[in-house]
Copies of this chain bind each other. A is one copy, B any other.
Amino acid sequence: MSEKIYVGVDVGGTTIKVGICDSEGKLLGTYEGDTEVSKGTDAILHNIAKYARAIVEESPYEWEQVDGVGIGIAGFLDIPAGYVKFSANLKIENTDLKGILEQELGKTIKINNDANVAALGEAWAGAGRGVSDCVCYTLGTGVGGGIIIGGKIVEGFASMAGELGHIAIVPDLEAIQCGCGKMGCLETVSSATGIIRMAKDAVARGDRTSLSQVENIMAKDVVDAAKAGDEVASRIVSRAAYYLGKSMAIMAIVLNPEYFIVGGGVSKAGDFLFDQIREVFEKYTQDQAKEGVRIVPAVLGNDAGVVGAAGLILRG
């Protein structure tokens, strides 16, 4: 039992999920506990350490086998320093996460942005296994992103790389303001929130659509209506797909990744969505930059975060 293991921690606003991976990214076990944000920073850090120890204790592995603990966290980070500048959903600021947890756990700690970590999970041990360069999208409430080049996360000068949701891609005349304050971000049209907003706008202005019968419109309702042939819903889903495909065309000529990996709730629309993305990508991408390039669904689901966090130790 001298094989090394890697602990990944996915710190969410409600729960902290921890997992153990082997050196190939195989998930050997997971554990979930409350984040307890209301108890403050010290409690959250204590919980991270506690759950990291717990998952190992409950496993057939020994703590000595742990080569390091990787942590995915939403917020503004100084990734190389392992420092949390500000995390809105955890209410943590100016915290030396790496330093404190290295002291508490006696292991190498690496931290990274939650979307980057999910991307690394998919690239390392999910849909992109064996692929060196991937661009990953997570279509949820927002549009998260992560860029993997040479098997590693691109972090950027100020730890701000990979924010694909904030590519300014909608032309000025059609752009609306994003939550980030800027105009025309991809997230305003291709996230669940964007899809719901476009649907509510359509209903509010009296467009003839089956969605006007839906009480609390969710992104899935819009996708389902589009699949059933509702023209208004179809236009909305096509718009979401259009800007995703166009952003991928840009990524293809800028980074020329082998895989685009798309996950998150909205991606569950499946081929209905993917086919439209692929069509736009095909239209706007130069032949040499799309040759052999694939747009594929993510496969790890909610495990991508812990797997990628564990991967930070080997790939961070």
Where the two chains meet, the residues of A that have a C-beta atom closer than 8 Å to any C-beta of B are: 76, 132-133, 145, 147, 149, 154-164, 166-169, 171, 173, 180-184, 246, 249-258, 284-286, 288-289, 291-293
Contacts and interface: CB of A to CB of B under 8 A. Distances in A.
B257 A167 contact: no
A182 B163 CA distance: 26
A169 B171 CA distance: 9
Contact of A288 (B76, B246, B254): B76
A171 B171 contact: yes
Given A76-B288, A171-B171, A286-B166, A160 B256 contact: yes
A85 to B, nearest CB: 9
Contact of A289 (B147, B160, B254): B160
Contacts of A164: 253-254
A162 B254 contact: yes
Nearest to A256: B156
A13 B227 CA distance: 53
- Indicate the member of A161, A173, A251, A292 with the most B CB atoms within 10 Å: A161
29 contacts: A132-B157, A133-B156, A133-B157, A145-B254, A147-B254, A149-B149, A156-B289, A157-B256, A157-B257, A158-B256, A158-B291, A158-B292, A159-B256, A161-B254, A163-B253, A163-B289, A166-B253, A166-B289, A167-B250, A167-B253, A168-B246, A168-B249, A168-B250, A171-B171, A171-B173, A181-B286, A182-B285, A183-B284, A254-B254
Contacts of A255: 147, 154, 156, 161, 254
